[in-house]
Amino acid sequence: MSWNKIIGHEKIKRILQNDILNNSIANAYCFVGPEGIGKDAMAIAFAKVMNCKQAVHENNTVDACGVCKSCQQFDNLSHPNFELIFSLPTGKAGDSESPFEKLDNEQFAEVRRELQAKSENHYHKMEIKGANFIRVSFIRFVKRKLLLSNSVPGRRFILVSRADEMNVESANAFLKTLEEPHNDVTIVLTSSKAEGMLPTIMSRCRKVQFSPVEVGQIKKELMVNYGFDEESAHTASLFSGGSPVRALQFESSDLAASRNAMVNMLRQSLKRKDFQLSLSAAIEELVSTKDKNKLFNDLKLFQLWLRDVSANRYGGGANLFNSDDSLTIIKFDNAFRDKNILKAIEEVDASITLVHRNVNPQLLLYKLFFNLREIFLV
């Protein structure tokens, strides 16, 4: 099966199935919509269904069997008819056949790790250090492959993830591929910044617009298709803000421990004396994993905790998100009742928006907790 692992977007599943059933698959699609909503995952599911050897047809629906060789190869992204194009860091200069040959060992290892993570979870957002652009060498590499005949029968599928990261050179090289469509090739570009794409590219693609998934829907599907118990599905869906990617990041994480680490950092930053030393130790420990998604989530959790402080103050403490930590929340609110809690929440918000830009995580946290110290102690 394939579609049921895609959380939400029922209408889009319907459209894509109709394209398969009516034999009207486009040469190129552009999946646009907010980040973290499952555009790549949907594209892979689409490719899997259209290549399945024993596709299941039922009441005008079509789904992958999930067990044939082709399905398995799409599951782990190793299908010979599948190409994933994504941003890579600048490698060594010089001509080489493959864009990967230009990378040094460390870069190559990182790319492999990220590809492995993506193959295990199609919702995984690949984060590769210094990978700001989709390189023209990558586009040319795939184009050369397209000139060769298929090693296995079936439709070939190219997924350009975060297609807005193509620079002008790669976009132009890519445009030529779109202008001379191959009959047996489907290209899907995904982007959360469609405004950053060349209009000439957009105009050659069938546009599919994605929207945030309703929180109740996420909760339901986490329970039915991902084996979440009701409580964790509830928490993960509330936290997701409509993004299945973020909801799924909670599958393996310990929310309470992450939140406590952040609250502990606040505690360190509010010490009257010698706060720098203990704060910097806490920050070093938190960012030691260098995982920006984790930092993003930790900050979101911390923000929800501060919101609970505000809810306790202005809303009488009903429906706290962190109901397990209500005693600490009430104590904190009593101790800092005359301080501007809304300003504190805004500070965390500002830090959250900076996480995925090129800001040093340690610096970001130092700045945040110094600002919070100003708010709560001055």
Binding site for Zn ion (CB under 5 A): 52, 64-65, 68, 71
Q: Which is nearer to Zn ion, 53 or 92 (CB)?
A: 53
N- to C-terminal Cα separation, the chain:
58
Distance of alpha carbon 290 from alpha carbon 360, whole angstroms: 10
Handedness of CA 22, 156, 85, 108 (dihedral sign): positive
CB of 54 to Zn ion, least distance (A): 5
Q: Are strands 56-58 and 61-63 parallel, antiparallel or unpaired?
A: antiparallel
Question: Amino acid letter at 292?
Answer: K
Pair 49, 256: CB distance under 8 Å: no
Distance of alpha carbon 257 from alpha carbon 29, whole angstroms: 41
Q: Which is nearer to Zn ion, 64 or 247 (CB)?
A: 64
3-class secondary-structure state, position 45: helix
CB of 186 to Zn ion, least distance (A): 17
Pair 48, 71: CB distance under 8 Å: yes
CB of 43 to Zn ion, least distance (A): 17
**How many residues are there in the chain?**
378
CB of 156 to Zn ion, least distance (A): 17
CB of 78 to Zn ion, least distance (A): 14
CB of 13 to Zn ion, least distance (A): 17
Distance of alpha carbon 121 from alpha carbon 343, whole angstroms: 37
CB of 150 to Zn ion, least distance (A): 17
Q: Which is nearer to Zn ion, 62 or 262 (CB)?
A: 62
Q: Which is nearer to Zn ion, 19 or 63 (CB)?
A: 63
Q: Are strands 185-191 and 156-160 parallel, antiparallel or unpaired?
A: parallel
Q: Which is nearer to Zn ion, 52 or 295 (CB)?
A: 52
Q: Token digits for 369? A: 């907790």
Q: Which is nearer to Zn ion, 43 or 320 (CB)?
A: 43
- Alpha-carbon Rg for the chain, nearest whole angstrom, is 23
CB of 336 to Zn ion, least distance (A): 58
Distance of alpha carbon 33 from alpha carbon 210, whole angstroms: 5
Q: Which is nearer to Zn ion, 71 or 201 (CB)?
A: 71
Q: How many helices (H) and strands (E) does the chain have?
A: 16, 7
Of 210, 217, 290, 273, residue with least CA distance to 247: 217
Q: Report DSSP state, residue 208.
A: E
CB atoms within 10 A of CB 33: 20
CB of 317 to Zn ion, least distance (A): 52
Q: Which is nearer to Zn ion, 63 or 308 (CB)?
A: 63
Q: Which is nearer to Zn ion, 68 or 330 (CB)?
A: 68
Sequence-separated (6 or more) residues with CB below 8 Å from residue 140? 173
Question: Amino acid letter at 275?
Answer: F
3-class secondary-structure state, position 160: strand
Distance of alpha carbon 33 from alpha carbon 31, whole angstroms: 7
CB of 67 to Zn ion, least distance (A): 6
Q: Which is nearer to Zn ion, 71 or 311 (CB)?
A: 71
